[in-house]
Amino acid sequence: MIKIVNIRDIAKKAQVSVATVSHVINKTRHVSDELIDRVVKAMMELDYQPNLLAGSLRRKKSSTIGLIIPDSSNMLFSGVEKNIEDILFSQNYNVIVCNSAYDIGRELEHLNTLRSKMVDGVIIVPATMDGKHLEKFRNIGIPIIILDRMIPDINEDTVLVDNYKGGYDAAKYLLSLGHTDVGYIDRISDHSHSLERKKGFAKAFEEQGLFFDTNNIVRGGFTFNAGIEAVKKLLEENSRITAIFTFNDINAFGAIRGLADLGLKVPEDISVIGYDGTPLSEIYIPRLTTVRYPIIEMADVVSKLLLKRIAEPVFKKAIKKIIPPELIIRESTRSK
């Protein structure tokens, strides 16, 4: 094993005390120019790199935070991750990325490890709706911010996306185009995201004195194939449909494909709106009208909130932030 150069070696070489070395490294008290020079020189010569682990242990602050997401290969999450890393890096933090794989057991394991590694805070997109362990985690003294999930019966810092608005905006836009018979592809099981969207969607109809017929809702997975299936079912049941709102972009692509199979063109025959605004949505033919998930804003808000919590750890009441998504109008929709 290679000898690790430490602060003591520097002190000896520079003929000063270890305290002085530490202080010049951290600029934490005044040191005469002469000593600074000697120390810096010694550090250079020995290729010294401070041991942050030792420092963290002493200081009880690791300058690393944990990010737990269900799946870092999902574009939504990887986008958030990248931006979080960017912001935090600029504040001298590193991020340990953990995949829960939508499994609460793994989530818990990761939480424990992160605690053990003394992270200064964590950002989490929880795997499930269960949040007892998150509360417990914060009680331990480590700030934790929940991202993009409404965990019921819990009072923790949360950064949410306004999915109600997402649904509302989509419906309102479709209505403005004259579409009143619209199909709705929902996820298989309810979930705050889908519930909110649906509420907003129906609200827009209401405001026009119309009624959104829930018979026009079909449930499917998040996948391309689910979109294909869904569209067929939808049109079988109601042939008057002139527009379709989907749960995500991939789903929308599937819908478009399914429609093509039926001999229907988008947007000429039927309009389609996606959700998420992943990069592909602007590449697809037709370019997809979609509700953009505010990835960058989420990363920004959640990072800053966490930083704030780390700086002022007193937790009196939970902070909630809600970020609006944005309707992006492109080529897959047109007036009736």
What residues make contact with DNA under the rule CB under 7 A? 4, 6-8, 15-23, 25-26, 28-32, 34-35, 50-51, 54-55, 57-60
Enumerate binding residues for its own copies (CB under 8 A): 1-2, 4, 47, 49-54, 56-57, 60, 62, 64, 71-73, 75, 78-79, 81-83, 85-86, 89, 94-99, 101, 106, 112-113, 115-118, 140-141, 224, 250, 253-254, 256-257, 260, 280, 282-285
25 binds, among DNA, its own copies, none (CB under 5 to 8 A by kind): DNA
Q: Which is nearer to its own copies, 8 or 199 (CB)?
A: 8
The distance between the two most distant Cα atoms of the chain, rounded to a whole number of Å, is: 87
Compute the least distance from the CB of residue 106 to DNA, in Å.
23
Cα 310 to Cα 183: distance, rounded to the nearest angstrom: 46
Tokens of residue 76, six digits: 């939504």
Compute the least distance from the CB of residue 208 to its own copies, in Å.
34
> What's at 63, amino acid-wise?
S
229 binds, among DNA, its own copies, none (CB under 5 to 8 A by kind): none
| Strand pairing category for 182-187 and 217-220 | parallel
71 binds, among its own copies, DNA, none (CB under 5 to 8 A by kind): its own copies
59 binds, among its own copies, DNA, none (CB under 5 to 8 A by kind): DNA
* Residue indicated by tokens 């592809």: 185
**CB-CB contact of 122 with 97 (8 Å):** no
Compute the least distance from the CB of residue 5 to DNA, in Å.
8
Compute the least distance from the CB of residue 217 to its own copies, in Å.
23
Q: Which is nearer to its own copies, 232 or 257 (CB)?
A: 257
Q: Which is nearer to DNA, 22 or 64 (CB)?
A: 22
Compute the least distance from the CB of residue 105 to DNA, in Å.
23
211 binds, among DNA, its own copies, none (CB under 5 to 8 A by kind): none
Q: Put the strands of the sheet holding 326-328 in their side by side order.
A: 217-220, 182-187, 243-245, 271-276, 289-292, 326-328
Q: Which is nearer to its own copies, 205 or 253 (CB)?
A: 253
214 binds, among DNA, its own copies, none (CB under 5 to 8 A by kind): none
Q: Which is nearer to DNA, 57 or 140 (CB)?
A: 57
* Residue indicated by tokens 């010694």: 42
Which alpha helices (DSSP H) does 117-162 contain, by range? Answer: 132-139
List phi, psi (to 5°) of 52.
Answer: -70, -25
97 binds, among DNA, its own copies, none (CB under 5 to 8 A by kind): its own copies
19 binds, among DNA, its own copies, none (CB under 5 to 8 A by kind): DNA
Angle between helices 295-311 and 75-90 (to 10 degrees): 40
**CB-CB contact of 60 with 260 (8 Å):** no
Angstrom distances, CA of residue 288 to CA of 27, 158, 220, 283, 294: 53, 30, 20, 8, 17
Q: Say whether the peptide bond before residue 313 is cis (omega within 30 degrees of 0).
A: no
Q: Which is nearer to DNA, 153 or 312 (CB)?
A: 312
30 binds, among DNA, its own copies, none (CB under 5 to 8 A by kind): DNA
Q: Which is nearer to its own copies, 204 or 231 (CB)?
A: 231
Cα 217 to Cα 34: distance, rounded to the nearest angstrom: 76
Q: Which residues of 142-172 are buried (b: 16+ CB within 10 A; e: fewer)?
A: bbbbbbbbbbeebebbbbbbbbbbbbbbbbb
Compute the least distance from the CB of residue 85 to its own copies, in Å.
5
CB atoms within 10 A of CB 66: 22
Compute the least distance from the CB of residue 92 to its own copies, in Å.
8
Q: Which is nearer to its own copies, 44 or 285 (CB)?
A: 285
